[in-house]
Amino acid sequence: MTVHTTALADRACLIVHGPDQPGIVAAVTALITRNKANIVSLDQYSDDPEGGHFFQRLVFHRPELSAVMPDIEADLRTTLEPYGMTWQLTDQSIPKRMAILASTSDHCLLELLWRHRRGELNVTIPMVISNHTNVAEDVRSFGIPFFHVPSQGPDKSEAEAKILELLIGNTDFVVLARYMQIISEDFLDRVDVPVINIHHSFLPAFIGAAPYRKAKERGVKLIGATSHYVTKELDEGPIIEQDVARVNHTMTAADLQARGAYVERAVLSRAVQWHAEDRVIRHGNQTIVFTDRP
């Protein structure tokens, strides 16, 4: 759970997925052996052993990893080509760069900054961008750069352009930590890295504005939060994590929202951690998540 930087030295994470077929696991593990690496952990899943799709996450340790990464990559290309598999190899000692977009709410933002400082998120945080200024001081007290990009008026293109200017080249994924602006399709195309969002969710669903008020009116007994990758269908992207909290009739819509904040910060933190550790594989509108949850 805690990220020990020294423990990540010379460690790589290999993601392999594609059409399931006999021999694929043997081929991958033989490759690891002949490259003098030791398997640290291995998770795999096949949605149908007969003709389904196969997913594998393998973490290995190889002394002097950075020197031999090109050799291992070449071996992977040769070995996996006949199987038609997609793969991705990541040096775990190089944390991903995570930019955060926020608005006025601090609960998700501060939880990420604090878990990062605590050494529980294997990321660097190059910047926090907000369309408001109230979180600036908190962000900077963690030693993280803060940029204010206001987004007034109906035309958001100017604000998005400024944000893109800050982000492009500087981030490996973007987290919307209760960022209350709609992201345009054009922005998604141009930022070209995964974008993770968090939003409230209910049983049953209350779509549109004022969901906590609607949930109150229907007398729901659970409120929840969902973290997902942002796609052009907005809040319909592949789900990474969800959770709920119990509520009752004594709680006002404001109380539901306050309690929901605790669910949101926990759900988003787990989603971010799993993404940072290459535990999430997107597959159509689903995710395969090799979680570290007991």
Cα angle value 289/126/134 (rounded, 5°): 100
Q: Is the dihedral of CA 294, 108, 8, 278 positive or negative?
A: positive
By the rule CB under 8 A, 64 interacts with a copy of itself: no
- 121 versus 163: smaller Cβ distance to a copy of itself: 121
Binding pattern to a copy of itself, positions 188-207, x when CB under 8 A? -------------xxxxx--
Within 8 A by CB and 6+ apart from 71, the residues are 35
Q: With contact defined as beta carbons under 8 Å apart, do 17 and 86 qualify?
A: yes
The H or E element that residue 175 is part of is: strand 173-177
Smallest separation (angstroms) from a copy of itself to the CB of 37: 8
Smallest separation (angstroms) from a copy of itself to the CB of 31: 8
Within 8 A by CB and 6+ apart from 222, the residues are 202, 203, 244, 245, 246, 247
By the rule CB under 8 A, 208 interacts with a copy of itself: no
Among 220, 268, 272, 276, binds a copy of itself (CB under 8 A): 220
The H or E element that residue 195 is part of is: strand 195-202
By the rule CB under 8 A, 6 interacts with a copy of itself: no
Smallest separation (angstroms) from a copy of itself to the CB of 292: 7
By the rule CB under 8 A, 134 interacts with a copy of itself: no
By the rule CB under 8 A, 104 interacts with a copy of itself: no
Among 69, 89, 193, 251, binds a copy of itself (CB under 8 A): 251
By the rule CB under 8 A, 238 interacts with a copy of itself: yes
Is 186 part of the annotated catalytic residue set?
no
# residues contacting a copy of itself (CB under 8 A): 72
Distances (CA, A) of 31 to 40, 51, 151: 15, 23, 51
Catalytic residues, by residue number, are 235
